[in-house]
A and B are shown apart, each in its own frame.
Chain A
């Protein structure tokens, strides 16, 4: 026991040194790991070293500088790539010999003596975006083949469209930059890009507000709006091409009947953004009209409402002796009507007006109220009028019910 008691402190101090050693070794590894981490992406441009690395002169000096730049992380390299991309975009124009078809009209707009926005003294428009050198505007026929419409959401008014677009011109076209004013394009494929003919395939998410005045007999218009971002009407005049505006074979939107297609152009200008902002632009609009199936509308809205009314109306034949039964034919129907109306409205966006379904449900509420009032009349008048109230309720209540229901359906 004594000998073991003497040896214990040595063991403890040995273990302590061992632990300390392991800990130090651990810290050293951790420190190395942390030191090897690349700097955060949003910080690299802040350091002086990075600034040196992205200097094109130092990059040009040799491979060492290039390797150093890579070591500095992704930031500077990304920056360079971004610059390259910008150069690419500009470069294509810059590299090509300038002619009237690719010249940026802003470049030859004339600065005024008193400063301000440069203008074009020649031609119809003063706007710097006018291109008087281009001559007569190209008349461009716009063809459209709508291949598919998916995920139509009537609450948001959004839908996904998949379509082909063709531009056929009678004149060499300037560079065209199509934008979609009522949505965004998720996928763009340039299929043909020739001076007189261009063909694209687009898949995009677009939006058109729903018009629900006639719901559930509504027709919705799904619109695709296209505008050339660069060229005004002095260069491009869009014309809808009837012969080449179509829906694909077996085109169908589930739950909807194709009612019509519409293609038109609208020539508009923006409210003045600067002095002499007088350029007009053509906007092409393709509209697909979708009509809700009538049978579906009748069975989902009108039949349930009529059933509610008819069941409540049966109570008018029940005498005062069975007052409980009579009220039970009306009051639960009121709850049913409210729930049914709520379920209908859940599927639609909020509107500042009454839809046809709302008007129908208003008439249903009035009818149910009428039936309750007729039943309550027994409590307002003396008992000797019981039979008369029953008779009046039956012979006046039924025609009034039917008239109000008809009004709710037809108005």
Chain B
């Protein structure tokens, strides 16, 4: 086998490897639906129609079954607002979590159902947000000087609540 042939084969291997490296991150897992329970902190209708019925509502809740301090606020439409009237702060309700690849370039999750109330996610929703963090005190010379809250979920959290994994 001539040197040129060898070289061309080797180059093919190199570029195939590079292409593979480039393509691999593009492989995404399939969407998953998870069932979980959350504790409501607040159910607050935001805007009202002329007849006084809420047209949307905010629900703030804790992922109390997940390690750390995970707080989320979701906004839902009029049907969701009407349905969520039966719940109050402190109630524990079941949720369905849709875990999927987001167009922003990472995995994300949406609450599609809460306490039996359907909540169709809206891509243009700017009001829903989450704070996923695990805080620990900063102890210096035995004195508590403050706290540090990690925003990148650790293994324990992802094991128990895998939808918090964004990558």
Contact = CB atoms under 8 A, between A and B. Distances in A.
Contacts of B146: 240, 262-265, 285
B7 A318 contact: yes
A264 B152 CA distance: 20
| Contact-residue bracket for chain A | 35 or more
Contacts, number: 83
A202 to B, nearest CB: 20
A295 B14 CA distance: 20
Contacts of A307: 14, 18
B50 interface: no
Contact of A314 (B7, B126, B149): B7
Contact of B7 (A245, A259, A263, A325): A325
B4 A261 contact: no
A338 to B, nearest CB: 20
A314 B152 contact: no
Interface in A278-325: 285, 289, 291, 294-295, 299, 303, 307, 310-311, 313-315, 317-319, 321-322, 325
Given A250-B126, A303-B21, A259 B150 contact: yes
B133 A261 contact: yes
B30 to A, nearest CB: 20
A260 B138 contact: no
A317 B7 contact: yes
Given A317-B6, A322-B3, A260 B25 contact: no
| Contact-residue bracket for chain B | 20 to 34
A249 B125 CA distance: 12
B33 interface: no
B49 to A, nearest CB: 25
Nearest to B143: A267
A260 B3 contact: no
A315 B10 CA distance: 9
A79 interface: no
Given A262-B147, A326-B3, 16 more contacts: A245-B147, A245-B149, A249-B129, A250-B126, A259-B151, A264-B146, A285-B146, A303-B22, A307-B14, A315-B7, A321-B3, A322-B2, A322-B3, A325-B3, A325-B4, A325-B7
25 contacts: A245-B149, A249-B126, A249-B127, A249-B129, A250-B129, A258-B151, A259-B152, A260-B133, A260-B149, A261-B149, A262-B149, A266-B145, A294-B167, A303-B18, A303-B21, A307-B18, A310-B14, A311-B14, A313-B10, A314-B7, A317-B6, A317-B10, A318-B7, A322-B2, A322-B4
Interface of A: 240, 242, 245-247, 249-250, 257-266, 285, 289, 291, 294-295, 299, 303, 307, 310-311, 313-315, 317-319, 321-322, 325-326, 329
